[in-house]
Structure 1
Amino acid sequence: MVCEIVLPESLRPLFRKPFGILYEGVGGDAVRSSVKDLGNPTKLISVGDVTTFHLLESNIIPDILIVDDRTKRAPASSQVVYGTKHQGFVEVTVDNPAGVITEDLISVIGDALVSDRNVRIFVNGEEDLAALPAMMMAPIGSVIMYGQPDKGVMLVRMTESKKAEIKDLFDKILEKQDHKEQFNNVRRILHGH
């Protein structure tokens, strides 16, 4: 049985608040304005096709990029799809339906974080919630970037307090799941055990 964590409707408002700094603008403008604050992160993780495309276009190479060839739930342009297929990445494909986070997605992100290679994770389904496990598992000092449709790009710098905030949110999500015992392995992976 595939372990799927469903984002409960009651917790969706928590995802509308910013987890980091929002750089407003369209496409490349938002990414370019965020670059000055990027620093030298432990790991740079990019979630989303448009954000990833503009990072790569700006010669900023994420350690991990997570894409699904879609933007705003519609197919991404061929320019964006092609532009996220960077030669220097090991490609990994994972199934992850819309509105959920699968144990497989969590596992693939965890493996990518300990890899000494740049990893392109292609999600067959939807990557919208992938930033959450990425934030949970990324080492302190890492930066996770993801798009905010029609607003800009979010830059989240992982600190101890940010990790605690994300952990609390994830624990609330796990508490709302049916058959909680099936998530024990997921909880261990997310907490680094």
Structure 2
Amino acid sequence: MLTLPEEHRKLFKDPFGELYPEITDILPLLSQKTVFTVGDVVTYTLRKAGILPAVGIIDGYTMRSPCNRAPEVPGESLRVKNPAGTLTDELVAAIRYAVEHPPLTILVDGEEDLAVIPMVIAAPLGSIVLYGQPGEGVVLRTVTPGAQDTARAFLERFIRSEE
């Protein structure tokens, strides 16, 4: 398991991509793109707009409160454990599997907030990763070699421990 030390958590407060106030601002940019989502509200809203994410990662909560919208991506679903402030090997393996076997929903028991990092690493170049920025909007990250390098650099801030 990888754990993000408290002193590095502030680094993850800034958007890892382009911030849009509303998901409707992003919809025209998604045409002909493979899209991956992290978060219940983003996944739900995209599905409601008729866009099927290749992979949706959800935990049943939004801003630490139960999410009253149950987003689902048609196809297979996997359930994994991932405590807050961590990236478990189980979650990372599920992301890799999901990217190769879409459409798929990853249901996280714990918290999915940091899943955007391994998702950007695993997703194909040119695809888009969307996630919510609490109280601010939606972040769009196009997967490029530079984005993958940045995500790998973020992982270097984590500490490995046994699960």
Q: Where on the TM-score scale, by shorter chain, does this alignment land: which range?
A: over 0.9
Richer in helix (by share): 1
Conserved? CA contact 2:56–2:72, under 8 Å: no
Inter-partner Cα distance in structure 1 for 2:72 and 2:55? 12
The alignment of Structure 1 onto Structure 2 pairs a total of residues equal to 163
Q: TM-score, normalised by structure 1?
A: 0.79
Alignment correspondent of 1:33: 25
Inter-partner Cα distance in structure 2 for 1:32 and 1:123? 26
Q: TM-score, normalised by structure 2?
A: 0.93
SS of 1:150's equivalent in the other structure is coil
Alignment correspondent of 1:188: none
One-letter code aligned to 1:71: T
Identical-residue share of aligned pairs (%): 34
Q: Equivalent of 1:119, from 92, 104, 110? A: 104
4+ residue segments displaced more than 3 Å = none
Unaligned regions of 5+ residues in structure 1, if any? 25-29, 183-193
Q: Equivalent of 2:134, from 123, 130, 149? A: 149
Alignment correspondent of 1:101: 87
Alignment correspondent of 1:70: 61
Cα-to-partner distance string for 1:56-106 (whole Å, 9 max, x where unaligned) = 0000100000001111111111xx12xx134x2211111111111100000
Instruction: Determine if the alignment matches structure 1 residue 44 to structure 2 residue 44.
Output: no
SS of 1:111's equivalent in the other structure is helix
Q: CA deviation at 1:38?
A: 2.2
Alignment correspondent of 1:134: 119
Instruction: Determine if the alignment matches structure 1 residue 56 to structure 2 residue 47.
Output: yes
Q: Equivalent of 1:167, from 128, 152, 155? A: 152
